[in-house]
Amino acid sequence: MPSPKHRSRRMRRVFVRTASRIKLHYRKRKPAKQKCPECGKVLRGATRLRATKLKTVSKTKKIPSRKFPNICSQCSRKKIIEMARGIKLGEQE
């Protein structure tokens, strides 16, 4: 019988093959995928790891190297165009 902390589904169940038998290990689940705050699309190129594992990963593998890495590429493209033109896209005079 697993301990009470392992009875819920918050822990992921992983079957591990050992020399004598197959054992059940419990691991923490991956965090949710990051989403663009403007349009809600899933961000491409953002690593899905817990904070302890994220420390060991290099900066170039954590986030994209474009100008606005926290929003999707389409929204960042719109934002750059808006900044260059000095107006908001979608607003009509």
- Report pLDDT for 64: 86
Report the pLDDT value the prediction gives residue 87, as an integer from 0 to 100. 73
Let me know if 22 is exposed, middle or buried by CB neighbors in 10 A (0-12, 13-18, 19+).
Answer: exposed
Task: Examine residue 45 and state whether it is found in any structural domain, yes or no.
Answer: yes
Average of per-residue pLDDT across 19-24: 95
Q: Is residue 23 part of a domain?
A: yes
Does residue 92 sit within a domain? Answer: no
- Residue 9 within any structural domain of the chain: yes
71 within domain boundaries: yes
In a domain, 29, yes or no: yes
- Domain housing 22: 4-85
Amino acid 6: pLDDT: 86
Q: Is the pLDDT of residue 46 over 90?
A: no
d(CA 42, CA 63): 13
Q: How many domains does the chain have?
A: 1
Contact 30, 49 (CB under 8 A): yes
Burial class (CB in 10 A: 0-12, 13-18, 19+), 84: exposed
Q: How far is Cα 30 from Cα 15, in angstroms, rounded to an integer?
A: 17
Give domain status of residue 91, yes or no: no
Has residue 42 been placed in a domain? yes
